[in-house]
A and B are shown apart, each in its own frame.
Chain A
């Protein structure tokens, strides 16, 4: 335990409170959508009714890639990226590296989208930042991820904003640890029969203390991801490579070798995927082909971490012969401390290193962080409301965002399920979120009491959450539980149950609140001071 002097503790309490209250509302939005995004892949399968359970890389891809290479203009055949899309379909991006209008390195090429039967569904040509947008069948999961990563603010500003939020969370987590005078006592103190606000304070303290290490890891890795491309790489490239970002990228991620531009057909990709699956025990998540169709071509397969490991795996193959060369770290050409440190940042942030178990733990701890952020803001406002009545607007804002955001998210999910069959899910998923948010703001302005507003938003969220499984089955034409389980997608049934449980929980909370008398401000303030 760390013992600070009285004035240092006072400074830390101020830092903890202000770091939360200044950016807490945005931080809450980022943490809540990030918590949901832990299951982005599963939400994508649930919402679009994906029942294919075999990876695209477990099916023959070699002939498909050769066919696509044949119709691709030679200037875009410098490199190819292969990855899964939709219902285990295949995305193939033939491209070349070049500079954009601002002189920043980017990729330009042709993006082919194939379904899981290998049929070409769509072709898009352009710069990578323009062509990789949400599709009709993944609009909901894309919306969640985009909100979490950059709050829909254009880059680099969105990344900078979420990076600053990550730093605010880091400050709140460290100062939260420093201000605990009785850390071990606080972990177990829950006065259930005390004043409601004291109960809230105890819950905030307990949830915050237990999830402190997790908050620290999430804030650290999250701000790393936000600042990595937007600030870190340009600054390091400026100092170490005279501003040449591509040279930095090549030094860190490249596969150095002697250039050999002789034209030679690419090796058998089915042989590569079969060998990679045999060596790692699972299908690749991504395949990168450099110098496609040349003698010096190389193929790298990327995989999730092995069981009981946290570092992702990647395998390097000779592109011309499809012969396995070596296992390589995801960062750097050979194992190193820096490469390992950079490599584990992803699994630590996404919680995908031990399958569903680690994802469930990350989801639970993320939910605890949402609770800590929200209750922290409420406690801050309640403590000061008695001193400054003008803070009533802030209390109202906290309620609108705290309960309005989940309402907006379930409304966007409902709109996705209705709009996906008619092909307009990309538009309506976002539009429904904005409409629901507007309705929550309007309710915040019109409803008299904060308690009534809370009940209204909780009730609306619970009702929409209960409707989601019905909408999925009836309007979106999704698979039933039997079909989903038989196809190896029990997650569809699990998410249905989760939405029903969440809906009942919200409605129950709403009903309980109706029976509880309103809390009076003086009692609340006294309780917080106690």
Chain B
């Protein structure tokens, strides 16, 4: 049975309006939940590969390890508060791809990442 034939036009319009809103809401939940965790873990693994080592040659290791909870929180609140869900997805995807690419190139290249203390 075709439900649309028996649904008043005004209700159909409301349902059409609700559907994308619900989809956006789920997209936001996915980006704030598993999305933020995955991107934070990728950043944790990828940041040591481009951060400078600093005076003791360990800043690139220490900063991601220490700041990991704040990185996750930043991604979480960005996903919750940014009015544009597309921008949230774009930022998350860019961070994921850049750091994921760095990790992949590291495994292919196997170059050392620790710097000698200067």
Contact = CB atoms under 8 A, between A and B. Distances in A.
A422 interface: no
A228 B57 CA distance: 19
Residue of B45, B61, B77, B113 with most partner-chain A CB within 10 A = B61
B103 interface: yes
A240 B113 contact: yes
A223 B62 CA distance: 15
Interface in B46-96: 46, 48-49, 54-66, 68-70, 72-73, 76-77, 80-81, 83
Nearest to B44: A235
B48 A333 contact: no
B76 A338 contact: no
Contacts of A241: 113
A329 interface: yes
Contacts of B80: 11-12, 15
B58 A338 contact: yes
Interface residues of A, number: 43
A236 B55 contact: no
A15 B69 CA distance: 17
Give chain A's interface secondary structure class: helix
A338 B69 CA distance: 16
A239 interface: yes
Contact of A337 (B45, B54, B72, B83): B54
Given A332-B56, A336-B55, A336-B58, A236 B64 contact: yes
Interface in A147-175: 166-167, 170-171, 174-175
B12 interface: no
B48 A236 contact: yes
A49 B70 CA distance: 42
A220 interface: yes
A261 interface: no
Contact of A248 (B44, B61, B68): B61
Interface of A: 4, 8, 11-12, 15, 166-167, 170-171, 174-175, 219-220, 223-224, 227-228, 231-233, 235-236, 238-242, 248, 251-252, 329, 331-339, 341-342, 345
Interface of B: 41, 44-46, 48-49, 54-66, 68-70, 72-73, 76-77, 80-81, 83, 103, 106, 110, 113-114, 117
